[in-house]
Structure 1
Amino acid sequence: MSIEGGCRCGAVRYTLSIDRLPPTYACHCLDCQTWSGSAFSQQALVPEEAVHMTGPVVFYDRTTGDRTSHQRMCGICHTRLYNTNTRRPGIAVIRAGTLDDSHRLDVVAHIWTKRKQPWLIVPDGVPVWPESAPLDEFVKVMMG
């Protein structure tokens, strides 16, 4: 199975060297609402070495407290494609909407639900955390 994605304008393309579409999570924090311009962001965790990109990628680093987020985006249309984070070395956070088969993705967890829009209903049985999930629990849910 080829898992591919890219930016809005098509200048940047990527391939994920993994066996299946990754599970995704929804983050309802205020940063993700602002970054996405929507009620939440939908993301997937994959090993950083599994991401292979081509095209004009630009970088943006954002430091918040003791953490730095290294953003990768298209240098033309500025679509955010993925980021890495100093708190989770070796893990890439893929923006789910940039995957070619994003319509086939499952949301298996929700974080920062204390900031969730009141009209959004999380299905029963899906793990939720009012803020960030403890890393060991989160990785177990996201990466099996």
Structure 2
Amino acid sequence: MIQGGCRCGAVRYTLALDAPPPVYACHCHICQRWSGSAFSVQALVFQAALTVEGPIVLYEKVTEDRTSIQRVCPQCHSRIYNTNTRRPGIAVMRAGTLDRSEELVCRAHIFTNYKQSWVTLDPAVPQWGEAAPAADFAAALIRA
């Protein structure tokens, strides 16, 4: 079991996984604004593997091609995860909310056309200037 939670501890979650999930970094402007940083680091997990305890506030964002529902702690406002209509059954976990997040390995970078100029990426890690093709992205995340 993998565990995590928000900054204040009001929200805790468990992932029914044997090992930490593979993570990726998104450098798009939306993720930069959401995170207040140069990029966001996320993990895709099956929503059925996720159990959340504690209060959650939903924030729904509707765009031309999807509806994204963010789950946020109502006390400290940490974003825990989101789902969207383009990927039913998948939770996009915020990697920094995982306990032992220092053990995570970034397996891919997306939207690197928007990365901050001072960020240096490991050329051995797959990266795409925009969205990655689904099959290539999946292969990058599951590589050993």
Equivalent pairs counted in the alignment come to 143
CA RMSD of aligned residues (A): 1.0
- Partner amino acid, structure 1, of 2:59: Y
TM-score by length of 2: 0.95
Find the counterpart in structure 2 of residue 101 from structure 1: 100
What secondary structure is seen at the aligned counterpart in 1 of 2:68? strand
Percent identity between matched residues is 59
Q: Does 1:81 align with 2:80?
A: yes
| C-alpha separation in 2, matches of 1:96 and 1:51 | 14
Structure 1 residue 84 displacement after superposition:
0.8
Consecutive aligned runs of 4 or more in structure 1 exceeding 3 Å deviation: none
- For structure 2, the 5+ residue unaligned runs are none
Map Cα deviations across residues 109-139 of structure 1 (whole Å, 9 max, x no partner).
Answer: 0000000011111102111011111122222
| C-alpha separation in 1, matches of 2:44 and 2:142 | 7
| C-alpha separation in 1, matches of 2:55 and 2:62 | 23
| C-alpha separation in 1, matches of 2:142 and 2:15 | 15
Change (3 A) 1:143 1:92: farther
Structure 1 residue 79 displacement after superposition:
0.6
- Partner amino acid, structure 2, of 1:102: S
TM-score by length of 1: 0.95
- For structure 1, the 5+ residue unaligned runs are none
Map Cα deviations across residues 55-114 of structure 1 (whole Å, 9 max, x no partner).
Answer: 001111111211111111112111100011111111111000000110110001000000
